[in-house]
Amino acid sequence: MTQTSPAVRDAPAETPRLRTTLRRRLFWIVVVVIAVLAAVATVLATASGIPDTNRYSIGNAGPSGSRAVAEVLRAQGVDVVAAGSLDEARAAAGDDSTVLFTDPFGFLDSDGLDELAGLGTDLVLVEPGTDELDALAPGIANAGAAEEAGSVAAGSACGVPAAQRAGSISQPTWTYRVLEGPQSSAASVCFRSYDDAYALVQRPRAGGTADAAGTVTVLGAGDALTNEFAATDGNAALALGLLGAHRTLVWYIPGPDDLPDGGGAATIGELTPGWVTPVILLLILVTVAAGIWRGRRFGAVVVENLPVTVRASETMEGRARLYARQGAHARALDALRIGTISRLTTALALPRHASVADVSRAVAAVTGRNVDEVHDTLVGAMPRDEAELLALSDRLLVLEQDVHRATDVR
């Protein structure tokens, strides 16, 4: 067993203090904090800069948006107000206003549609569905998709000034027809696609006459309002004429706030079961407790003298088991040969840098053996199995014994 020096034995052992540890790691702590702050700032900047991609949105500058039409109307003195809920539309619509309405996702229910029917002076419905037609434009029905055509003309029977000025528009998406009824004669139809299917139908609002100021317009050519097609044919003239007749234009696209429950999309907290929060809190407490338990300090480190001497036989037996388990016969024999050659070099008083050939010749000289036989035993022969390994190890042992006997006699 080795002895520990007095200087090591008497040296004070201290556990690093928190202040010392923090001082050593201050650089990395600052780097991590800066990285976290930069990540948070990037996320906030990205979230605030998400582009508007909603169809017909006046904030969308992409092909499907309607920002170009809204900006031209504003340049002409029309106050264009975007409304994302019925409350916002109600607040913005006045006596001299046009309300544009499109609800592709069906957020507005029947009660909301009934309330919308009384807002503003003129009402423009962009590609409405059956429920919206029944509530806002009774007497007008859906006639299906329009037939393919490069463009459609307003027609001689069209009585809508904006459509007459436009002349023709690009191919519409949906068409509508006027049902037989008391007010069918007061309706104006424009941009015929086929039979009695038209892309634009305008009629007086409920309770009005053909000469009344208030109208409801059903527009099946929603592409005429988009940035991509606004400049095609007479799309721009139609859009500006329909939407710029009054001082205020309320651009109303319903959103989640118009759902019947009024809450919009459910939050993560609302979708999470009630037992999840207590379990998470319990796991946090358990984690903190485990950290305190496993990370508690036991005081100063105690210097203890440990045994460092291992018997050679234990090392030899351990390595032998490893070689045997892996079937490393050649590697095991190499270890034996290295030890034998080292001892023979010492016994024959040869220099430490002597080669195997030099050792072989010296052994043959003192034992009378053949040089080739000695060289084959020391480095040449290779074992193919365990039996040959044992035979070669015995030859090494006998060779070493013969050298020791020969040198002792001398």
Q: 89 and 188 share a domain?
A: yes
pLDDT in tens, 330-367: 777 777 778 888 888 887 778 888 887 888 888 878 87
pLDDT in tens, 269-296: 767 788 888 888 889 988 888 877 776 6
**Amino acid letter, 123:** L
The whole-angstrom separation of Cα 108 and Cα 124 is 16
Q: 90 and 195 share a domain?
A: yes
- Of 227, 258, 289, the residue that ends a domain is 258
> What does pTM read for this prediction?
0.55
pLDDT at position 6 is 46
The answer to whether residue 39 sits within a structural domain is yes
Q: What is the mean pLDDT of the chain?
A: 81
Q: 231: domain range?
A: 67-258
pLDDT at position 208 over 80: no
The answer to whether residue 204 sits within a structural domain is yes
Q: 222 and 364 share a domain?
A: no
pLDDT in tens, 296-308: 666 666 666 766 6
The answer to whether residue 178 sits within a structural domain is yes
Residue 222 DSSP code? G
Q: What angle do CA 146, 152, 156 make, to 5 degrees?
A: 120
Alpha-carbon distances of 69 from 28, 102, 214, 303, 306, rounded to whole Å: 54, 16, 22, 83, 87
- Of 223, 258, 293, the residue that ends a domain is 258
The answer to whether residue 373 sits within a structural domain is yes
Q: 39 and 134 share a domain?
A: no
Q: Which residues contact 12 (CB under 8 A, 6 or more apart)?
A: 300
pLDDT at position 186 over 70: yes
Does 316 or 224 have the greater pLDDT score?
224
The answer to whether residue 57 sits within a structural domain is no
The whole-angstrom separation of Cα 162 and Cα 191 is 12
- Of 221, 241, 258, the residue that ends a domain is 258
Q: What angle do CA 22, 26, 32 make, to 5 degrees?
A: 115
Q: 196 and 338 share a domain?
A: no
Q: 34 and 103 share a domain?
A: no
How many structural domains compose the chain? 3
Q: 231 and 372 share a domain?
A: no
The answer to whether residue 114 sits within a structural domain is yes
